[in-house]
Amino acid sequence: MTNKTRKLSFVLYEDNFPPRYYSISKNILRFLLFGLPTVTLITLFIIAAGGIYFKQIQRLAQRKEPAIIKELRKNKEELIIAQEELLRERDKLQAKLGQGITNNDGLSFLALFKQSSGRQDLSSSPEMAIEDIEAITREKSIELSFKIVNMTKDESRLTGYLFVMMQVGEHLEVWPAGGFDDKAMQVSFGKGEFFATSRFRPVRSAFGKPSGQNALFKIVVFSRTGDLIFKQLVSRPI
């Protein structure tokens, strides 16, 4: 009886065929009627969830890819611009070397600086300005701070070498320190504070503190090929 209760039996009658007897386990029947559809639904749900998950990953990758490409394109453009600047400066330097050293009365105040081949005074139409000038007197030093502002017409990067000279009475000091050659009382323009900016660049120069009440500061900027591109005189009490 126990075995009979675990199985379902039925007889199949077909025309022109003798009756046939079949039996099937109740567990198998339950699995075919309920378990198999349930497993199928669970499998379909897992497949659908996996498809949605990978679709989201694909969308995130598609969103991130343009940003990476944009960054690479920006880096490439910056490298191209830097290469073009180097080529232009190389051509200018070659032209200057071909001109040799000539005397220029307009640059007589630069006697402190070593003469360079073909140097020109371009400071009458500068492509930069000085803003927010402030002189700070400390216990043992004097600091002059200001901001270099790029004023190029095509908004190209401004580069150069910066010097600040301070005169108090007979005391004269040049910043940055170490600009003087060991065997000459002159300064090479290439030993200045190098800067490169597309917008603005803050500067803070420091000097010793001599005795006196007023300081005269001379801000001088050379291009990378030695041309004078900016000069400004500033007087401040100390």
Q: Kindly list the domain boundaries of the chain, sorted by start residue.
A: 1-99, 105-237
- Give residue for tokens 């139409």: 125
Q: Which residue has the higher pLDDT, 91 or 78?
A: 78
The answer to whether residue 226 scores a pLDDT higher than 90 is no
The pTM of this model reads: 0.57
Q: Which segments of 105-213 are extended strands (E)?
A: 128-137, 141-150, 158-168, 171-175, 193-197, 200-208
The answer to whether residue 162 scores a pLDDT higher than 50 is yes
Taking domain 105-237, whether its CATH number is 2.40.37.10 is answered by: no
The answer to whether residue 3 scores a pLDDT higher than 70 is no
Rounded CA separation 187/108 (Å): 14
The answer to whether residue 163 scores a pLDDT higher than 90 is yes
Which pLDDT belongs to residue 58?
76
Tell me the three state secondary structure of residue 8: strand
Which pLDDT belongs to residue 184?
66
The answer to whether residue 171 scores a pLDDT higher than 80 is yes
Tell me the three state secondary structure of residue 212: coil
Which pLDDT belongs to residue 5?
57
Least confident window among 2-11, 82-91, 127-136, 173-182? 2-11
Least confident window among 21-35, 44-58, 97-111, 132-146? 97-111
Strand partners, 162: 193, 221
Say how many residues make up the chain: 238
